[in-house]
Structure 1
Amino acid sequence: MPAFFLDRHRSPNDNVRTLNIESKPVQSNPPRSMLFVSGEKVERFAKAMAAGADLVCIDLEDAVHPQRKLEARNNVLGWLKLQPRTDTGPRVALRLNGLRTAEGLRDVVALVDSGVQLDWLLLPKVEDKADIQCIAGWAGAQIGAIAALIETPLGIENARSIGRAGGKLGALMLGGADLSAELGAQFDWEGLFSARGRLVNAARAAGVQAWDVPHVDIGNLSGLSEETRKVLALGFDCKTAIHPQQIQIIHAAFAPTPADLDWAKLLVQAVPDGEFSGAFLYQGRMVDAPLVRKARRIVELSRLQ
């Protein structure tokens, strides 16, 4: 599905701004859900791919024992080499170890040498936009888009700068477990509320997606549903998951209500000539670019249910 962002052009003749909506390649088809699977568990890869998630992320970082990093790396890249590139099924992501670690550097070298093509690459513990620029320089030709995991206080402070790294950066993702530990905060809604708000604002300011941390209480599906609705209300694009049973709950939370869908369809149809070129009156109210973007997103989400 296309995603949209605001491109502000100043007229050379006056000080009036015209707002246009354009597509941005790295933001196309924003995932509602991303399912993590351990890089140690090759036997679980097929199950993860069949779970219904929009994106499956094979994890070489936290989900792999330090003594089994080499084995996991070789197995994962070997498996990825054998996967056909198709337009159906979930997209595939790979989470590396941090670039400031020896294992992270080994991951990068192995990825480049393998020639494997990835839809997304997740880079953990990003604290500076230079991290994004480095990985894009080393392996950019093999990566569709990059998601920066923001999981330290310094990362939160620098989130806006990181979001403007450019290139193939497509998303900022909250790393709640590590962040809450460093903050001395609870790993829950209240403890991470401020960080979530700051990350969404940084992502929106930069025109990239915002992804939320997984809900780690696997058995609490009602809690997952409530949290997903809350992060959507904050402006997040994607809720990540650590168990296949969480995917259906996440997607249900994304489904628009009939009233919201009716409103969105009518508004999209009312856009003059189908292309937004400036604010206009609709049913007595002024409609601007963010409102059109919201309506289009609701319509696209309804098609995925």
Structure 2
Amino acid sequence: MIEKSLDSHADSVCYDLEDSVTPGKKADARRLVSELLNGQRRPRGEVMARINAVGTGYEEHDLDEVLRTRHVEAIALPKTNSPDHVEWVVSMIERLSPREKRRGGKSPIRIIGMIESGEAMVRIKEIAGSGEGYLDGLLPGELLYPRSKLVTTAKAFGLQAIDLVCVNYKDLDVLRDESEEGRRLGFDGKQAIHPAQVEVIHSAYSPAKRSVDVLKAARVRFSFEHHDKLGKGSYALDGMMIDAPVYKQAIKVLVKAEAAGMEIPRITEEDI
């Protein structure tokens, strides 16, 4: 089953060493994941490993195994209840990962913090500001308020906000509704637990069906860079004030569009 992940079209493939593995099988799971992530082939998307939570007694063994593999690019950290948990993972990356995967290297490991408790929600701003540049995104628990607050906090700290899984993997209409809701809340993407879910999630989050948004983002990018060369700060475009945060959001839209294979409109001064 695990080999099927190599053919996945998902943007990120996560290998779970936590909840899906019983205590007696933890060592076997580490071995299987390590062998796969040291192999000649790798998934097309980002390669992530979900380790066991800090304090379980398994987490150090997990990182000692996966951080030494060829293909791992990100670590999902369950039950991220404090910035200390993130900093501990950072220390392990600095100690175990090859130079190119450490801070300042060509492709540093990314950390995804999983916000799953009331304690974590209380400290979410501290958590979002931790990680010394390694923290790349946050994943929420199930309730609407924590999900909404997570999106707001992630955006404030320049992190990705990734929505939780839809466990009803056989009903793609439910998944489609959840994905559309998550996009409206401001999430950047959604986790999947079955290959059949990937296309639906891609469709909901891809800007391909929202070409108007892509055109607007392209105009914002061009106009902002044009005004920046002229030494101007904020300015108006189509009656809307454009400043650095709006520009950064436009860049994110264009990055998604390019990843989806869309052609980005070429903008000139006449278009602004």
Question: Where on the TM-score scale, by shorter chain, does this alignment land: which range?
Answer: 0.7 to 0.9
1:221 pairs, out of 157, 172, 176, with 172
Q: Which amino acid aligns with 1:283?
A: D
2:14 pairs, out of 57, 60, 64, with 57
Q: Aligned with 1:147: secondary structure?
A: strand
In the TM superposition, what is the alpha-carbon distance from 1:108 to its structure 2 partner?
2.9
2:161 pairs, out of 210, 217, 221, with 210
In the TM superposition, what is the alpha-carbon distance from 1:219 to its structure 2 partner?
1.5
For 1:48, the equivalent position in structure 2 comes to 5
8 Å CA contact retained: 2:141, 2:147? no
1:294 pairs, out of 246, 249, 258, with 249
Of stretches 202-211 and 57-66 in structure 1, the one that deviates more from structure 2 is 202-211
TM score, norm. by length of structure 2? 0.81
Cα separation, partners in 2 of 1:171 and 1:272, compared to 1, 3 Å: closer
Do structure 1's residue 146 and structure 2's residue 101 form an aligned pair? no
Unaligned runs of 5+ in 1: 1-43, 177-191
For 2:202, the equivalent position in structure 1 comes to 251
The separation in 1 between residues aligned to 2:71 and 2:126, in whole angstroms, is 27
Cα separation, partners in 2 of 1:69 and 1:290, compared to 1, 3 Å: same
Q: Deviations over 1:101-152 (max 9, x none)?
A: 112232233345x455521011111101001111111223525111111111
1:260 pairs, out of 213, 220, 233, with 213
Count of aligned pairs between the two proteins:
244
Unaligned runs of 5+ in 2: 102-108, 261-272
For 1:171, the equivalent position in structure 2 comes to 137
Do structure 1's residue 67 and structure 2's residue 24 form an aligned pair? yes
8 Å CA contact retained: 1:125, 1:151? yes
In the TM superposition, what is the alpha-carbon distance from 1:275 to its structure 2 partner?
5.3
Q: Aligned with 1:271: secondary structure?
A: helix
Q: Deviations over 1:157-191 (max 9, x none)?
A: 11111111132111111143xxxxxxxxxxxxxxx
Q: Which amino acid aligns with 1:105?
A: E
The separation in 2 between residues aligned to 1:302 and 1:99, in whole angstroms, is 36
More strand by share: 1
Which structure would you say has the larger RCO, counting Cα contacts within 8 Å and 6 or more residues apart?
Answer: 1
1:133 pairs, out of 87, 93, 107, with 87
The separation in 1 between residues aligned to 2:202 and 2:135, in whole angstroms, is 24
1:156 pairs, out of 109, 121, 142, with 121
